[in-house]
């Protein structure tokens, strides 16, 4: 028996690589056929994409990507570049993109999905060019579509076309988000303060989407150190708190336009006055304005005193 064992082992080793090579060939072939579909979709050749999909289905009828590819191809076959006649048409196309095309693209196109989807958002934005802003249909406007496409300057331009955009929380949040991408936070402290006073919830959305390192560091420190309710609405005090942490930003925050003059805005204005009075050495006036600050918000007053 011992004499036969090496031969049996050799036969086993001889068969294993062939099986593995066969599996690798199958995997390679299916990947090639998938790539044919992807390349056709990327180049906009819908007919070629349909033909490549049929070939993939013929050879691999149970391929995981078949159903996802079919969704993308069917939508592309019905694709149009005509402008939307109304907000309902925009909404229908937007939901088709977010609920059907995005999941299908992410499941089947791999790394190419992001670039492919950005082009779809660009097309959506161009088709929405004639739609006016409506507060009840805010997402059915060109500005957020441009930003989903990563076209930040186009997002700024589309938002700027909205009458009184700086007085409306949602367009203001769009403008701040886009400008943070284009300019960074230093040029946009005024807009940030105005949005904090109007809608701390939308400011939180902007923070969740930004990658500005200076801003993110300050937000993290605020969340750790500010003794508020520990909720999103604390952000209404963020512009005033910034002055306790970074007094040098006083001139940048003076760019904030007057809002509704509620306590958080009053607190920031009081802190701006305090910084000026301290520089001038006017101690009696400093004491009086400190009392005003303490009455507006005890946690903010404590943060101010901690730096003195």
Contact in structure between 289 and 297 (CB atoms under 8 Å) = no
Residue 220 confidence class, pLDDT cut points 50, 70, 90: very high
DSSP H or E stretch at residue 163: none
Residue count of the chain, please give it: 308
Mean pLDDT on 118-123: 97
> Distance of CA 193 to CAs 77, 181, 202, 216, Å?
46, 17, 12, 15
Distance CA 166, CA 217 (A): 26
The SS3 call for residue 69 is: helix
pLDDT digits (tens, 9 = 90+) for 84-94: 999 999 999 99
What is the mean pLDDT of the segment spanning 225-229? Answer: 85
Could you report the per-residue pLDDT of 275-296, keeping only the tens digit for each? Answer: 999 999 999 999 999 999 999 9
Q: What is the pLDDT of residue 3?
A: 37
User: Which segment of 8-17, 62-71, 290-299 scores lowest on mean pLDDT?
Assistant: 8-17
What is the model's pLDDT at position 229? 77
On average, the pLDDT of the chain sits at 91
Q: Give the mean model confidence (pLDDT) for residues 256-263.
A: 93
């Amino acid at each position: 028996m011992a004499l036969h064992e090496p031969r049996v082992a050799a036969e086993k080793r001889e068969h294993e690589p062939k099986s593995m090579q066969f599996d690798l060939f199958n995997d390679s072939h299916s990947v090639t056929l998938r790539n044919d579909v992807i390349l056709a979709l990327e180049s906009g050749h819908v007919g070629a994409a349909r033909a490549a999909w049929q070939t993939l289905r013929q050879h691999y009828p149970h391929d995981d990507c078949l159903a996802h590819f079919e969704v993308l191809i069917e939508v592309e076959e019905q694709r149009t570049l005509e402008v939307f006649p109304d907000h309902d048409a925009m909404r229908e196309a937007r939901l088709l993109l977010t609920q059907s095309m995005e999941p299908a693209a992410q499941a089947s196109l791999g790394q190419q999905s992001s670039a492919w989807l950005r082009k779809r958002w660009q097309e959506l934005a161009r088709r929405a060019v004639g739609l006016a802003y409506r507060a009840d249909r805010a997402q059915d406007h060109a500005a957020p579509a441009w930003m989903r496409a990563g076209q930040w300057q186009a997002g700024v331009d589309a938002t700027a076309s909205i009458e009184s955009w700086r007085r409306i929380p949602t367009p203001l949040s769009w403008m701040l988000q886009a400008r943070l991408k284009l300019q960074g936070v230093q040029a946009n402290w005024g807009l940030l303060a105005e949005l904090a006073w109007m809608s701390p919830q939308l400011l939180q959305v902007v923070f969740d989407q930004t990658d500005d390192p200076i801003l993110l560091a300050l937000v993290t420190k605020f969340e750790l150190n500010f003794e508020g309710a520990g909720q999103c609405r604390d952000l209404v005090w963020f512009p005033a708190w910034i002055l306790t942490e970074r007094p040098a930003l006083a001139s940048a925050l003076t760019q904030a336009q007057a809002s509704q003059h509620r306590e958080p805005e009053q607190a920031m204005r009081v802190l701006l006055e305090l910084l000026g009075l301290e520089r001038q050495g006017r101690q009696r006036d400093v004491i009086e304005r400190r009392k005003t600050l303490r009455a507006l918000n005890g946690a903010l007053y404590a943060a101010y005193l901690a730096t003195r």
